[in-house]
Amino acid sequence: MPPAPVLRSASAGTVEPVRAFARTRSGPDEPERWHEAPLVAGDVELGPLRITLRRDGDAACATWSVRVRNAAAAPVQLESVGVGAAWTPPDAGHLRFLRQGHQSWSFAGGEPLDDAGAPPFPSGPWLRGFHRSTWEAPPDRAGWHESDLATVVSAGRAAFAAGVLESGRAFGVAYLRRDGARVRVELEQRVERPLDPGESIELEAVRLALGDDASALLEAHADAHGRAAGARSRAPFQAGWCSWYHFFHDVTEDAFLRNLDALVAARDDLPIDLVQLDDGYQRAIGDWLETNEKFPSGLERIARAVHAAGFTPGLWTAPFCVVRESRLFEAHRDWLLRDASGGGDLRGLHHGTWTKEGWVFVLDASRPEVAAHLEGVFRTLTDMGFPYHKIDFLYAQSLRAAAHDPRVSRAERLRRGLAAVRAGIGDDAFLLGCGCPLGPAVGLVDGMRIGPDTAPYWHVLGAGIPGLGPTLPAGRNALRNTLARAWMHRRLWLNDPDCLMARSKQSSLSRDEVRALAASIAVTGGMAIFSDDVPALSAEERAVVRETVALAREVDEAAQAGTARAPALLEREIAATAVARAGADWLVALFNGADAPQRVSL
């Protein structure tokens, strides 16, 4: 007899259980072993493991809790645990799905669910690990597509959503492939830690749902995730100015204060609350309490000046990053993550502006002394007068590495680091994550960048690194993710679509491209931050900022009830429409992400 359906819907088909599975090793350097068994509620034996699965839900939606115990007499290296199901839609002829990587800058957009599966990543495991939960695709996943954290598949109007309700225990990956008239979907949790004999751990819950609206399924999934992880989604709307996209690393104290004076003079014209200093002020990456020669007065004077002008002071840091020129590197090199292959300190990224040698190293948040250091630094920065913190390049903490405590998973290591920052700034400060794996941050950050950096240009400059083009700074990349992840706003956090640049000088963006970015910010109701040289803006350019902030504020008030969405989210890589409630009115925005004219239907 075929297995009883897990889910059933008259309009969306059925979902049947297929298998539970696990990957283990007898030791960290031993060959990987695969174990599987039929997916049933209750206890499942998977080699040396006993998996306990508990189902809660109804015919259209089910959440499974997952607990793992090492039933063997010897330690086991637990690599991953997963559950698999098969969806049979009414018509499987036209299948599309949401693909997304696991951090802020990673690609998110609609793609066809074809028979080929995801192509191999062309630039090696280290770079793949920047944007995927696994640094290498498992060989047995050839022919499968993948999406981190959550996905939704559509077949006409029918849709099936699946995801892992991450909270910092493990990273979740959804694998998908066509199987005749069915769609196979497997949710795999990457754990990568040892289990002693008899030891048991609770993993993340997984959630499956059927319906006839892909956007509504994603919104309901985000609601469930937010409830499970204690999402901080009720912070006030954020409207502000940031130094980065005009001054970049060349920002100076004089330039910053000149823009602050201009914002005071234009308060009625540019109604914002936040003024944030970005990268370029610090003595060295890792030495966040000291400024360089471009900021001779120090951070406390900056915070006092912003506060005295009637704005909220904000500050950028990259808390897990350390360069060789920093005092922190010199004093505590033993605090750094080590390369997993034993080749010295982990190289978390390459950044030629930050350090002469280019390589940036990473603090090990599995160390209690590192957590104490982070908490102390951020308490001091908050005491200096900064109640708003943008923390960046956070993915570095979750890279594959040899950590001080091997029993702390990569997801938990990141969660511990974020928790230390939150402990330092306190419960009332606003914390914005950037370059951050999404799941472990839920419940700790108030805002999250949900796309790649925007830029004063539409397409990625130059040929770029193979495989990374959709993740690199570009206006088009930012637009795509702003629409594709609109369902996260006010459910997991406040969405940060990145900054608006309204200027026409020192920018290659056309006025249509500026308007498209402004419309995407406004209609999705996320944070509205702009980044231009304020004194140089024309009246027309200021009007773009003013109108974007006003509309985004209105949409955000309604977005708490879930009214901002991209209705045809999966039909194209970049959604062509977005709708939102703004006061008593509805906003409709149309987007053409292609380089040629397109016809859009409403």
Active-site positions read 392, 453
How many residues make up the chain in this entry? 602
At a CB cut-off of 8 Å and minimum separation 6, what does 401 contact? Answer: 337, 338, 339, 340, 346, 362, 364, 410
> CA-to-CA distance for 233 and 244, rounded, in angstroms?
25
Strand partners, 284: 287
> Which secondary structure element, helix H or strand E, spans residue 552, and what is its range?
helix 539-559
216 phi and psi angles, rounded to 5 deg: -65, -35
3-state secondary structure 387-422: CEEEECCHHHHHCCCECCCCCCCHHHHHHHHHHHHH
Classify 371 as helix, strand or coil: helix
> Alpha-carbon torsion 106, 150, 576, 491, what sign?
negative
At a CB cut-off of 8 Å and minimum separation 6, what does 330 contact? Answer: none
Long-range contacts for 535-542 (Cβ within 8 Å, ≥24 apart)? 535/258, 535/259, 535/262, 536/503, 536/505, 537/502, 537/503, 538/504, 541/502, 541/503, 541/504, 542/266, 542/269, 542/270, 542/502
> CA-to-CA distance for 219 and 61, rounded, in angstroms?
13
Strand partners, 350: 359
